[in-house]
Amino acid sequence: MSVFWHRRDLRVDDNRGLAAAAEDGDAVPVFVFDDDVLAHGSDARVRFMLDALSDLRDAYREAGSELVIAHGDPAAVLPAVAGAVDADTVYWNEDYTKLSRERDARVRLALERAGVDRESHHDGQLHKPGSIRTNAGEPYSVYTYFWKKWRDREKADPFPAPDAGLADAADLSPAALAEAAGGETTDVLHETLRADLPSIEDLGFAEPDADVQAAGTAAARERLADFRSEPIFHYDEDRDYPAKHGSSRLSPHLKFGTIGLRETYRATESAMREARDRDEGSEGTEAQDNVEAFQSQLAWREFYTQVLYFNPDVITENYKEYEEGIDWHNDPDELAAWEAGETGYPIVDAGMRQLQAEAWMHNRVRMIVASFLTKDLLWDWRAGYAHFREHLADHDTANDNGGWQWAASTGTDAQPYFRIFNPTSQGERYDPDAEYIKEYVPELRGVDADDIHGWTEMNDEERAQIAPDYPDPIVDHSERREQALAMFKRARGED
Ligand code: FAD
């Protein structure tokens, strides 16, 4: 017997650790609700996770097995489950954040004390953090070089779902497990095993206000297939235009592992073959460039994971230190207006309202709102990160942190401090017909795109006439730009 512990890999297909556990024989799949992890959760993510778990449980039932669900400290639950089913080994897939690594170290110790073997696998990335380094053997801090090595390195094939080697469902009911358990393990099992999935309220969360996208492997595959069918061939051309919906929207699935990275990459390889055919005879390599641009986003994800892996402090500290420290302005009313999507900068407000409505935001707009918070409102990026963590269904410590530190000019490949997005021209350029803005800001629906993009140029009376319910700009971009430059110059000790 073996035990497989699910964490950020809520699927049976293309799951390296599960494949290894099943090969070992009679794997008992387990998921543990861990209060230390839930402490970092949010309504949207817990909703997505519960739906993904429900899908995972169904997948096991179809295979004649049962997902064992527990709530407690994994360092107590896993040795207890292993004891009850007489498993020799507990398997899992590695996770690379500091919190996860500390938890896993505790679980390892507890299992060792209980005389149970541990086997962890690398699964959630195509290339393990630390496996791609500079020629001098250092981890990369510049994406472009990382990407070239990442792109050229051979990738593993997807792992098929186990067609045998899963424990029999009949042996895995909470009653059967508790009965099988003897001695010391009984208490832990009785306390923590659950016959069913908890409700969102049981876990201390509420139904999210946002319309969170469908979870589960079938939903992820549908998204991937849809994206692979056509949008991937236009990805690079369309990805910056939020009204075009040109990206995959796989991010919550990649966060929770409802689809495997190898399976995802395999789809891009087949798209690349099709792209070669499409490009044949034409002058350039257009379709191939578009597919490669998408592959390079998967590499960004792995780049930021390795940045966090080697620099766990970036979660709270600037990656790039400024000599004098940055003296952020941090006005609470301005932060509240940003969070509510009431800044009077239409593209910023559309983005913040998309976040409220969908627990997701388009990448270009994430960059715009993050620049606005840090360079126009002069707010410490940590406040923006905290808000995103609270609301994004796809919040991923490494990517979220990487995105924020990039925007704040404190990160690895960060935007230089003097390059400050102008939110008005960003809106004009990337949402020229204001379609995206009108979708999320109803007060502007009846307004011409030119007036929307001219909002900050008008006077209060003009604005009151055109869209009386939409706020006036809360700050003047040119003034704030100067203040931001001065703030960064002081931080650099140039003042
Ligand atoms: P696609 O464009 O279809 O890309 C495919 C996948 O590649 C994504 O699902 C994601 O896993 C990865 N990816 C794409 N862009 C990036 C990137 N710039 N950095 C790292 N990985 C990337 N992404 C998250 O997954 N979680 C976050 O919490 C997160 N926070 C962000 C915060 C800020 C301030 C910024 C600027 C970006 C953030 N991103 C985050 C990156 C990016 O915005 C999202 O990954 C992307 O918008 C998700 O949509 P998609 O799945 O359609 O992406």
With a 6 A CB cut-off, is 254 part of the ligand 1 pocket? Answer: yes
For ligand 1, say whether the CB of 45 is within 6 Å of any of its atoms.
no
Q: Output the domain CATH number for residue 9.
A: 3.40.50.620
**Residue 490, number of CB atoms within 10 A of its CB:** 16
pLDDT, position 190: 82
Which parts of 378-426 are beta strand (E)? none
Ligand 1 atom 29: residue of nearest CA: 400
Long-range contact set of residues 143-152: C-beta below 8 Å, sequence gap at least 24: 143/299, 143/300, 143/303, 143/412, 143/413, 144/413, 146/299, 146/303, 146/306, 147/296, 147/299, 147/300, 147/303, 150/126, 150/299, 150/302, 150/303, 151/292, 151/295, 151/296, 151/299
- Does 372 reside within a domain? yes
Same domain for 361 and 279, yes or no, is: no
- Looking at the fold, whether 363 and 477 belong to one and the same domain comes out as yes
pLDDT number for residue 181: 82
| Same domain assignment for residues 470 and 344 | yes
User: Which residue, 310, 341, 372, sits at the end of a domain?
Assistant: 310
* pLDDT value for 32: 97
What pLDDT score was predicted for residue 183? 61
Nearest-atom number in ligand 1 for the CA of 362 is 47
Q: What is the pTM of this model?
A: 0.97
pLDDT at 182: 73
Closest atom of ligand 1 to CA, residue 361: 47
Same domain, residue pair 77 and 113: yes
What pLDDT score was predicted for residue 110?
97
Q: Is residue 212 one of the residues assigned to a domain?
A: no
* 53, 117: one domain: yes
Q: Ligand 1 in contact with 259 (CB < 6 A)?
A: no
CATH code for position 285: 1.25.40.80
CA neighbor of 440 nearest in space, from 370, 363, 353: 353
User: Is 398 found in the same domain as 268?
Assistant: no
**CA nearest to 159, candidates 298, 300, 9, 297:** 9
Q: For the chain, what is the domain count?
A: 3
- Domain range for residue 301? 217-310
Q: What does residue 54 show for φ and ψ, rounded to 5 degrees?
A: -65, -40
Q: Is residue 188 part of a domain?
A: no
Final residue belonging to a domain, choices 123, 138, 154: 123
pLDDT in tens, the chain (495 residues): 999 999 999 999 999 999 999 999 899 999 999 999 999 999 999 999 999 999 999 999 999 999 999 999 999 999 999 999 999 999 999 999 999 999 999 999 999 999 999 999 999 999 999 999 999 999 999 999 999 999 999 999 999 999 889 999 888 988 888 888 876 667 788 888 988 999 999 999 999 999 999 999 999 999 999 999 999 999 999 999 999 989 999 999 999 999 999 999 999 999 999 999 999 988 788 999 999 999 999 999 999 999 999 999 999 999 998 988 999 999 999 999 999 999 999 999 999 999 999 999 999 999 999 999 999 999 999 999 999 999 999 999 999 999 999 999 999 877 788 889 999 999 999 999 999 999 999 999 999 999 999 999 999 999 999 999 999 999 999 999 999 999 999 999 987
89-93 sheet: strands from edge to edge: 117-121, 89-93, 2-6, 27-33, 68-71, 193-194
Which mutation among 147, 253, 394 tests ligand 1's pocket best, with the greatest number of atoms within 8 A of CB? 394
Tell me if 251 CB under 6 Å of ligand 1.
yes
Distances (CA, A) of 426 to 364, 367, 434, 466: 9, 10, 11, 22
CATH number at residue 382: 1.10.579.10
Closest protein CA for atom 21 of ligand 1: 301
Do residues 340 and 459 both lie within one domain? yes
Q: Are residues 281 and 365 in the same domain?
A: no
Whether 296 and 346 share a structural domain: no
Span from the CA of 254 to the centroid of ligand 1 (angstroms): 10
What confidence tens digit (pLDDT) does each residue in 202-214 have? 999 999 999 999 9
E strands in 316-406: none
Residue 180 is assigned to a structural domain of this protein: no
Q: Is 265 a domain residue? A: yes
Give yes or no: residues 379 and 306 share one domain.
Answer: no
Q: How far does residue 482's CA lie from ligand 1's centre (Å)?
A: 30
What's the pLDDT score for residue 415? 77
Q: Is the CB of 363 under 6 A from ligand 1?
A: yes
* Residues 374 and 482 occupy one common structural domain: yes
- Test site for ligand 1: of 235, 297, 395, 396, most ligand atoms within 8 A of the Cβ: 297
**Dihedral of alpha carbons 275, 280, 282, 283, sign:** positive
Predicted pLDDT of residue 185: 65
99, 123, 147 — which closes off a domain? 123
Instruction: Work out which ligand 1 atom sits closest to the CA atom of 367.
Output: 36
Q: Same structural domain for residues 342 and 485?
A: yes
Structure-token pair, residue 142 = 């510049």
